[in-house]
Structure 1
Amino acid sequence: MREVLVDGSVDELRKAVADALDGGTAVLPLAPGSTGLRDAMAPEQPVEPGTAVIIATSGSTGEPKGVLLSADALRASALATHQRLGGPGHWLLATPAQYIGGLQVIVRSLLAGTTCAALPPGHFDGELFASAAAAVLAEDGPRYTALVPTQLTRILDGGGRGLDAARAFDAIIIGAAATSAALRERALDAGVRIVPAYGMSETASGCVYDGVPLDGVEVRIGTDDRVLIAGPVLTHGYRLRPDLTAEALVDGWFRTGDRGRLVDGRLEVLGRLDDVINTGGVKVPAAAVERALGAVAGVREACVVGLPDAEWGQVVAAAVVAEEPVAEADLRAAVRAEVGAPAVPKRFAFVDALPLRGPGKVDRAAVVSHVFATLG
């Protein structure tokens, strides 16, 4: 395999991915300093047949694993994305390319034969976004980028050049984490055209756009409300882990770790299967509580977790990022009305920001071990 460090320049990675798509050496994109993930991929051992890219990830469990993606899967995802958005276009890479969302920006631009500019790694704000976007926005034809909700929030908060640049894109895919109703409304009011996407490394990036599967992708709901996905975008397994592969891929369907439902053919993701809190024998879905809290005026973000409790087994606890002072009583009332009394958080923590892992994903383990542990 060919290891490529993702250090802000897309040139080397773009060339390596182009070669891999044409049948060349499989690519392992890595952030500088990712020694543990790199070693877990065992680069000295032969690569599984049919692999073009390996996405090294610790996933939601913290266990390192490598998602194997073929050239066909990467192409299928990129082509279906362009078809859904309005045709091949020029792209701004605004998220780390060692993750599938960023890597697919490179794949899309390669297949379209168009511009791919990139933000420098590290700090993100609207001014930096506008400067990096200038080369893409100067091109004719559709202009696209992909962001995580945190980045979009910073652009909307900052206004100015960053917001002007965001408005100029024909579409901005929002992925990696759920897009709240409040953030959708803010983007709409600001004239920013966003497309919330659902997907993961195992589906070669977003495979459901605004609730509707991409062409060729099938979604169904299995037992325990598990979201199941089939189609040409799927991984063919995990690096050196046939056990995980057999568990995740069954009869051509990928078994996600998410709960969902189909409403008039549109997928609604209800949260992670392992984010259900058992409090006093009642199962409370954390995502439902988060949605209720996020609908309260002044709340920007919320993360709901279960904390150990001698009496209840677990108690519901909420870490809240608020734009303005919010009364706990109002938060409790909103959850009681929307989800029910057992779901009302017994503990609140008001924080400036939620801890993250990867591009825009809330680190729930850190919320438990740091936010609430610090409060005692």
Structure 2
Amino acid sequence: MTDGTDTGPALYPAFRAVALAVPGARALVGYDGTEATYADLLAGVDAAVGELAARLGPRDVLGLAVDDPFTFLSLYLAAARLGLVTVLLDSRLSAPERTHHAARFDVSWLALDRQPASGRGGFTLRETDDAEHHRARAATGYAPGDWVVHCTSGSTGEPKGIVMSQAAIAARVRLWGGELELTPADVVLCPLPLAHCHGIDVLTLPTLLAGASVVFARPGRLTGRGLARRIEDSAVTLMSGLPVLYQLLTDAQQVPPSWARSLRTVISGSAPLGPDLQERFHQRFGVPLRQVYGLSEIGVICFDKAHTGHGSIGTPIAGVEWRLAPAPDGTGGEDLHELHVRGPALARGYYRDPEASAEMFEDGWLRTRDLVRADPGGWYVRGRLSGFINVAGHKVGPLEIEAALRGCPGVLDSAVVGVPDPEQTERVAALLVTDDRFDLAEVRRLLAERLLSPQLPQRYAYVPAIPRTPLGKTDYTAVRRIMHAQEGSSQ
């Protein structure tokens, strides 16, 4: 097990110290409302330690594909105690997808929810096919100190594994927890999967190590009214989620501002937050909506703690070193730079993917591949290098166009991509969700006032809802498919 040098105690000792100090305090509330104290969770962790130690050896890699929060955390912290390399898998993966991920990351044992669930869920351990082969590969693929692997999809859809030490996880939790200023009196809402960095590193671990309570809401099954009721009933003081979550709340009918009276901090992250939604949320509920920016490779990078607003990501948090590299030619004006960061929370690279590692990790720095405008009062992300649209040599970022579209009457949501154009490399194409107020001529007039000529969409198509990933991010691959299918009917 890694020793967490310069980051404070490693995760299990840190959690155990909190649990022994406040054993009767509420640690978590599950999806169904079942509560668990710190003593309950510590007992669950220690029981999982015993079961994992009895079945897994030092050459094994654990695939954690569990949905129930109590069970997930019991296994996660048990793996921390034992120093087992642990791959966090989305519990919603199909069996073939789970098999593919297990083979990709040399998982020899899978932890799954017990079916049917009983009590606080429980788990089963299943040895994978070709487990001995995976053990042999893991021995050369993983390095000493490797502990957790976060799975993320690349541009081809092939999963990449972000490999982190326990020291790196402890550092990101400590640094971000300091920004949140959590106390044992806080109640934190987690509406994201624990297999995702936002769910485990940004929300759950800082809460537990502060002796506070975390309330879980099942991702993908939320309505605005139901979410508001859960926040009000649980007296939630801090919440964080994707912009689509705040769209649900803002658009929900008959949701009074009183649901937000217990909240002291509301955060949006994991996808760009449009200034229009940020302002509408604040106006309707009276609570500032602050944006956080980070990558799974290093955790939180920037936080708009002072609430600059207007889509700002704030400035880098303590413990994150940064540098602004020149933007590639054609990707914007002199005020745009590619952001590079480093610090104790940085991952070591991607599992068995030297090309992707070389592209993102450079001499101890992480190349975010994001272009930012670093104003003194707050920074702004203007797009990812891979997402820029080449319009006759002009590199156009879609985020600014999407924000401008959402600010037009009748446009409820938008997604912007580049589509092939034989005359100028690519055209800007906009996929819109609209209502009765929408008038294309008026939208074009407003965009002409707000955007430069190369940024103006040349194709429009319409859908009832923008396609999203299971996490809630815009699914740009699906957007491109829709634009291609509607080629003949677009305006």
- Match of residue 218 from structure 2: 120
Runs of 4+ displaced beyond 6 Å: none
RMSD: 2.4
Per the normalisation by structure 2, the TM-score is 0.70
Q: Distance in 1 between matches of 2:436 and 2:167?
A: 48
Distance apart, 1:340 and its partner CA = 1.5
Distance apart, 1:17 and its partner CA = 2.5
Partner secondary structure for residue 195 of structure 2: coil
Distance apart, 1:263 and its partner CA = 0.9
- Match of residue 27 from structure 1: 86
2:458 is aligned with 1:355: no
- Given residue 28 of structure 1, which amino acid in structure 2 is its aligned partner? V
What do residues 181-222 of structure 1 show as CA deviations (whole Å, max 9, x unaligned)?
A: 011101211123422111121122x32112221111123221
Identical aligned residues as a percent: 30
Partner secondary structure for residue 240 of structure 1: coil
Distance apart, 1:166 and its partner CA = 4.1
Q: Distance in 2 between matches of 1:312 and 1:107?
A: 49
Largest Rg, 1 or 2: 2
Structure 2 counterpart of 1:242, from 337, 350, 354 = 354
2:291 is aligned with 1:196: yes
2:164 is aligned with 1:69: yes
CA separation of 1:292 and 1:122: change in aligned 2, threshold 3 A: closer
Distance apart, 1:55 and its partner CA = 0.8
Q: Distance in 2 between matches of 1:115 and 1:135?
A: 14
Distance apart, 1:318 and its partner CA = 0.6
Asked whether the equivalents of residues 257 and 286 of structure 2 are also in contact (C-alpha less than 8 Å), the reply is: no
Distance apart, 1:136 and its partner CA = 4.5
Q: Distance in 1 between matches of 2:344 and 2:242?
A: 25
CA separation of 1:249 and 1:315: change in aligned 2, threshold 3 A: same
Q: Distance in 1 between matches of 2:303 and 2:419?
A: 34
Partner secondary structure for residue 73 of structure 1: helix
- Given residue 350 of structure 2, which amino acid in structure 1 is its aligned partner? Y
The number of residue pairs the alignment matches comes to 370
- Match of residue 265 from structure 2: 171
Distance apart, 1:21 and its partner CA = 4.0
Instruction: After superposing the two structures, state which structure 1 stretch, 209-218 or 38-47, moved more.
Output: 38-47
Per the normalisation by structure 1, the TM-score is 0.90
Distance apart, 1:163 and its partner CA = 5.7
Paired residues for 1:1-376 under 5 Å: 1-7=61-67, 9-22=68-81, 24-30=83-89, 31-32=91-92, 33=94, 34-35=97-98, 36-43=100-107, 44=134, 45-46=138-139, 47-88=142-183, 89-104=186-201, 105-130=203-228, 132-133=230-231, 136-137=234-235, 143-158=237-252, 160=254, 164-189=258-283, 190-204=285-299, 206-210=300-304, 211-224=314-327, 225-264=337-376, 266-376=378-488
Instruction: After superposing the two structures, state which structure 1 stretch, 177-186 or 190-199, moved more.
Output: 190-199
Distance apart, 1:25 and its partner CA = 1.6
Q: Distance in 2 between matches of 1:56 and 1:239?
A: 10
CA separation of 1:212 and 1:358: change in aligned 2, threshold 3 A: farther
Q: Distance in 1 between matches of 2:446 and 2:347?
A: 40
Specify every segment of 5 or more residues in structure 2 that has no aligned partner in the other structure, as ranges.
1-60, 108-133, 305-313, 328-336
Distance apart, 1:319 and its partner CA = 0.8
Q: Distance in 1 between matches of 2:460 and 2:358?
A: 40
- Given residue 211 of structure 2, which amino acid in structure 1 is its aligned partner? G
What do residues 246-265 of structure 1 show as CA deviations (whole Å, max 9, x unaligned)?
A: 33221221001211121116
Specify every segment of 5 or more residues in structure 1 that has no aligned partner in the other structure, as ranges.
none
CA separation of 1:175 and 1:121: change in aligned 2, threshold 3 A: closer
CA separation of 1:300 and 1:223: change in aligned 2, threshold 3 A: same
Distance apart, 1:58 and its partner CA = 0.6
Distance apart, 1:134 and its partner CA = 5.8
Asked whether the equivalents of residues 226 and 257 of structure 1 are also in contact (C-alpha less than 8 Å), the reply is: yes
Asked whether the equivalents of residues 299 and 324 of structure 1 are also in contact (C-alpha less than 8 Å), the reply is: no
